[in-house]
Chain A
Amino acid sequence: MSEIVLSHIDKYYGANHVLKDVSFTVHEGDFLTLLGPSGCGKTTMLRVIAGLENPQKGTITIDGKEVVNADNAYYMPPSGRGLNLVFQSYALWPHMTVWENVAFVMEVKKTPKKTIDEMVRQALEKMQISQFAQRYPSELSGGQQQRVAIARAIVSQPKLLLLDEPLSNLDAKLRIDMRGELKRLHQELGTTVVYVTHDQVEALTMSTRIAVFFDGVLAQIDTPTNIYSNPASVKIADFIGNPKINFIEAKGEAQSGVLTTKSDVGTLAFERGYHGPEGKLDCLLGIRPEQLEIVEDSPVHGIIKNCQPAGSETLIQVQVGDAQLLLKCIGLTEHLPGQQVSLSLRPESINVFDKASGALIKDSFVTTLRRNQ
C-alpha cells in the first residue's frame, strides 16, 4: 500500500512563490504524471515529494505516515521515505561502473554482498543492460545511460518511483521505445510512479492519471481521457492536444439547463452536460480538430485555406465566417485551396467554456467514460 497525500503545499524560493497551495493524492499503483509547461513548478513538486526540497507550508503523508509537516518544521530525509528517483540528467556517478552504480544503492543499505549481487543482476537483466555491467557511464549511449539510471532506481524495490523528465534527452525513436518500456515496468513492478514531463503525448500515453500545473497551481488532476475530453479550463484545453483545439467565440443563452449558442458555425443547442449559470453569457466553443468532419452537405459552410497531408493523417485549414478552423482526418485526402466545403459538428462532443472565467461549463460526451471527480 503506497498512498501519498499532499495537502496545502506552499514552496518559495526567496520571494518567488513556486508552488501555490497544492493538494492532491497519489493512489496506490498510480502512474501519476505531473504535466505543465517549463517553469510551472512540476519538478519542484517532485523534489518536494522526494525530500530534496522542503516546502514552507503544508503536510505530506506516505502510507499514512507523516513525512513532511511544515508547521513543526518536520522533514523526513529522502532516504526514510522508501522511494527512489531518476533525474533528468540521470545523475549517474561517472567514476563508477554500471555495476557499481547500481550496487552502491544496496551497499549503502548494508545489504549482504550475496544479496546485492543477486539484486543488481536482476535489475540489470530487467533493463536489458547486463552486458554493460563493467562499462563506465561515459562509455554508454544516452539510451543505455537511461536504462542504468532506471536500473539503479528499481534495484532497491522502492514503493514509490519518481521520474523527472527521464525521456527528454533521448531521440524521438528511442523515446517511443522507452515509453513502452516504462509502462511495462510499471505494470510488472506494481510500483506507484510519479512522473514529470512537459510532453503531453508522454503524459497521455503512459499515465493512469495526470496532474496539470500552471504557474505553481494545480489546474486539474484526472485520467488522461478526461483531461483530454473535458479540460477544466480554456488554458488546459489550449495546452493539451496536438494539433491544438479550435476556439470559436459565441453568444450563449441558457434556459432550464439547455445552452444555445450563436457563432460562426451557426446556432447550436446543447441539451446534455451543461452545468453553467442560467441566462445570457459570452462563451468559447472548444472543438478538437478530429471532431470536425467534411461532409457532403450540412448547414455549416467554409472555404479550404490549405491542406497538409502527412501520410497517416491530413490537416486541413478551413475558413468559416471569421473563424479559422483546423480539421484532422485520418488517412490521405486532397482538397484544393479555395474549395467550398460543408462541415459537420456534433454538439455532444463540443466543450463550451465561459469566456470571462475560462471555466468549462459544458462537458463533452465523446467517450463512454464519465468524469469521476
Chain B
Amino acid sequence: MIIVLSYLILIPLFEMVRNSFSLAKVDVKAMKGSHAGQFTLYYWKRLFDSAISMNMFYKPLAHSLVIAAFTSLFGITIGSLIAWLMVRSDLPHKKFFGLVLLIPYMLPSWALALSWNVLFRNTRIGGVPGFLCYLGLDIPDWLAYGPVPIIAVLSIHYYAYSYLLVSAALRSINSEVEEMGEVIGASKTQILRRITFPLVLPAILSALILTFSKAIGTYGVPSMLGLKVGYYTIPTMIHSTVTSSQSGMGYAISLTLIALSAIFIFINQRVIGKRKSYVTMSGKGTRSNPISLGKQKKLILALLYLFVILVVFIPLVLMFYQTFMLKQGNYSFSNLTLHYWIGKGRPDIYEGLDGVLRDTGFFRFLWNTVKLTLFTSIIASFIGQMIGYVNARGRKLRSGRFIEQLSFIPYLIPSIAFGAMYLSMFSKAKTIGPFTFIPSLYGSFALLVLVSVVKHLPFASRSGTSCMLQIGTDLEEAGQIAGAGFFTRFRRIVLPLAKNGFMNGFMLIFISIMKELDLIVLLMSPKQQTLSYLAFWYSAESWTQPSNCIAIVMFLLIFLTHWLSSKFFNADLTGGLGG
C-alpha cells in the first residue's frame, strides 16, 4: 500500500520538480549552447525575475490570493451561520433547507459562473446582454467580470464545505455544555462566543483549508469570469502556459501553487495545535435541545429564504429558462424553443449543432462522464475504506501514520496543479531496462481514473477513517475469538457495518468527480471528454444554451443520485466529511 501510494503521489511530484528544472526542446533556441533535458534555472528565473514575471506570476498570484482569501471568508461565514441555524436553532422548515442548501454544491461551479454571466453580462465587453441588461439596467464591468463575480460565485459554491463540516462538529457537541452556560447566566452571545465557537473552531479551520485550497486551485470560474477582462489567476495561467507548450513554466507555477497551499495548511495545522478536535465526553449521548430564535425567528427565516432564492433558485431557473431561448439575450416568450434540447441542427445556429438530446456526441460525453464517475467513486471509496481501516486500527503504528500523511498530500495540491503533475509524469513512457517503469498513459481513460482516484483519496480516506473509527475493535475481536480470519472478518463484520460510511464517501466523491473540470482539463484527449468539459467548451464559444442544457442534465444526475442514496442508503454528506 505504501509503495503504491508513493508511486502515485510522490513520484509525480518529483517528476514535476525535475521537469521544471530541465530544458524543453522548444526552448533550446533561447539558450545558447544548451541541449534539451539539461538542468536549468531558466524557467524559475523567468518566472520570478524577468520582464514577464509581473504579468505571468506576481499579478495572477495576487489575484489568486485575493480570491482565495475572500472566498474563504465569505464561504465560511455563510456556511457556519447556516450550519448553526440548521443544527442548533429551532428554525422551521429544516427539511426543505437541508435539501436545497446543498444544491449550489451539486451544481458545478462553472455552471454557477455561467448563470452569473447570464444575469449580469453587459454589452460593453462583448457578447449578448444578460438578463438584467435586457431589463434595461446598466451593469458596471466590475459586477459582470473580474474578482467580484469570481469571489461571489466561488463563495456560493464552497460555503457547502463549511456548512457540512461545521454542522458535523455542532452535532457532536453535547448541548449540556451550552446549557451549563445558560445555567450560570451567560448571555446568548457569551455562550456562542466563549463556548460554542471555540468548540467548532477546529472544524472551521479545516473548512478554511478546504475552501482556500479549492478556491486557489480552481480553473473554471476564473477562466469564465476573468479571462475576458484579462484577469488572470494562477490556475488560468497554468492552463494557458501548459497548453501553449510552455510546460516548464507551467510546472514551475504549479509548484509555487503547491508550496503556497502547503505553507497555508502548515500554518493552519500549527494553529489548530495538538487539541485537534475536542472529543466530546461520553455521557447520556448527545441530547440536543434547539435554541429558540425568539422574536428574530421570522426575520431569519425570511433572510434564509431570500438567500435560497438568490443562490439556488435564480441560478437554476435562469439556466433552465436559457435552454429554451432560441436567441441569446432575448428574454421574451416568443423566443422560446425546444431547439437546444431536441431540435435538429440548423446551419445558422452554432455551426449546425444538434439539440443535446439528439446529439450523438452528447451521449458519448454523458457515457464518458458516467463511466469516469462510477469507476472513480467506487474505486476511490473502496480504497478510502481500506486506508481508513489501516488508519483507524494502526494509529499507533508508524506505517499507519505514514499512510495517513501520504494520502493527505493530494489534498494540499490544487487540482489544476495535480493535473499538471500527472501530465508531466505520464506523457512519455519511461523504461528502465526491460521494465516499463512508467507507462505512457496520456490520452487514456485509465489516466483520468487514476488521477481522479488519487486526487480524491484524502476525502475518501477521511470518510473511511471516521467510519472505521466508529466500528469498535471489540466487534472484530469478538469475530477473532470465534475463529474468523482477517478476510472473513473484514468481509463479514467490517464491510456490512461500514456500508453507510461507504455510501457517504461514495456520494462525496461522486458529486465531486461529476463536476470535475480543474483536475482533468489538462489531461483529457478529445475521445474522453466529459460533460463538464463539453459544457465548458460550449460556453467558451459563447454557446450558452447547449452549455446550460448540459449543466442541467448534470445537476439532475447528481441530485437524483444524492436523493436515491440518502433515501435508500441513509447516506449523509455530513457524515462523510466529519470525523
Contact = CB atoms under 8 A, between A and B. Distances in A.
Interface in A99-137: 104-105, 108-109, 136-137
Nearest to B198: A95
A89 B174 contact: yes
Contact of A84 (B184, B194, B198, B199): B184
A95 B180 contact: no
A79 B182 contact: yes
B285 to A, nearest CB: 9
A87 B286 CA distance: 12
A90 interface: yes
Nearest to B186: A108
Interface string B90-111: 0000000000000000000000
B270 interface: no
B281 interface: yes
Contacts of B289: 52-53
B280 interface: yes
A138 B186 contact: no
A200 interface: no
Contacts of A156: 184
B179 A91 contact: yes
Interface string A135-177: 0111000000100000000001000000000000100000000
B195 A85 contact: no
A93 B195 contact: yes
B185 interface: yes
Nearest 5 CB-CB pairings of A with B: A89-B283, A79-B185, A91-B176, A94-B278, A95-B198
A77 interface: yes
Nearest to A138: B279
B461 to A, nearest CB: 25
B284 to A, nearest CB: 6
Interface of B: 174, 176-177, 179-186, 190, 194-195, 198-199, 201, 275, 278-284, 289
Contacts of B174: 89, 91
Interface string A10-52: 0000000000000000000000000000000000000000111
B473 to A, nearest CB: 21
B11 to A, nearest CB: 40
B185 A87 contact: no
Nearest to A91: B176
A193 interface: no
A83 B282 contact: no
A203 interface: no
B283 A104 contact: no
B275 A78 contact: no
Nearest to A78: B183
Nearest to B201: A95
Among B186, B199, B280, the one with the most A-chain Cβ atoms within 10 Å of its Cβ is: B186
Given A79-B182, A79-B183, A95-B198, A169 B282 contact: yes
Given A95-B278, A136-B275, A85 B283 contact: no
21 contacts: A50-B183, A78-B182, A78-B185, A79-B186, A83-B183, A85-B183, A87-B179, A88-B283, A89-B283, A89-B284, A90-B281, A90-B283, A93-B180, A94-B278, A94-B279, A94-B280, A108-B185, A138-B278, A156-B184, A169-B282, A169-B283
Nearest to A94: B278
A265 interface: no
A361 interface: no
A80 B176 CA distance: 18
A83 B284 CA distance: 22
A92 interface: yes
A258 to B, nearest CB: 50
Nearest to B286: A89
Contacts of A169: 282-283
A109 B185 contact: yes
Contacts of A84: 183-184
A77 B177 contact: no
Interface of A: 50-53, 77-80, 83-85, 87-95, 104-105, 108-109, 136-138, 145, 156, 169
Contacts of A52: 179, 182-183, 289
Given A85-B180, A93-B180, A94-B275, 7 more contacts: A85-B183, A87-B180, A89-B176, A104-B184, A109-B184, A138-B278, A145-B281
Contact of B281 (A50, A51, A85, A137): A137
B275 A87 contact: no
A85 B289 CA distance: 17
A79 B174 CA distance: 20
B182 A91 contact: no
Contacts of A89: 174, 176, 281-284
B288 to A, nearest CB: 13
Contacts of A93: 177, 180, 195, 198-199
Contacts of A95: 198-199, 201, 275, 278
A144 to B, nearest CB: 13
Among A53, A83, A84, A87, the one with the most B-chain Cβ atoms within 10 Å of its Cβ is: A87
A94 B176 contact: no
B283 A87 contact: yes
Nearest to B277: A94
A83 B179 CA distance: 13
B93 to A, nearest CB: 18
Contacts of A138: 275, 278-279
A78 B184 CA distance: 8
Contact of B184 (A90, A92, A94, A108): A108
Nearest to A38: B284
Contacts of A109: 184-185
A90 B183 CA distance: 13
A94 B198 CA distance: 9
A272 to B, nearest CB: 45
A77 B184 CA distance: 10
B203 to A, nearest CB: 13
A50 B289 CA distance: 14
Contacts of B198: 93, 95
Among A83, A89, A109, A145, the one with the most B-chain Cβ atoms within 10 Å of its Cβ is: A89
B190 A108 contact: yes
A87 B176 contact: yes
Contacts of A88: 283-284
B436 to A, nearest CB: 52
A79 B184 contact: yes
Among B184, B190, B284, the one with the most A-chain Cβ atoms within 10 Å of its Cβ is: B184
Nearest to A137: B281
Contacts of B284: 88-89
A306 to B, nearest CB: 32
Among B176, B183, B186, the one with the most A-chain Cβ atoms within 10 Å of its Cβ is: B183
Contacts of A79: 182-186
Contacts of B183: 50-52, 78-79, 83-85
A94 B194 CA distance: 12
Contacts of B179: 52, 78, 87, 91
Contacts of A77: 182, 185
B533 to A, nearest CB: 46
A120 B275 CA distance: 25
Contacts of A80: 185
A233 to B, nearest CB: 28
A136 B181 CA distance: 18
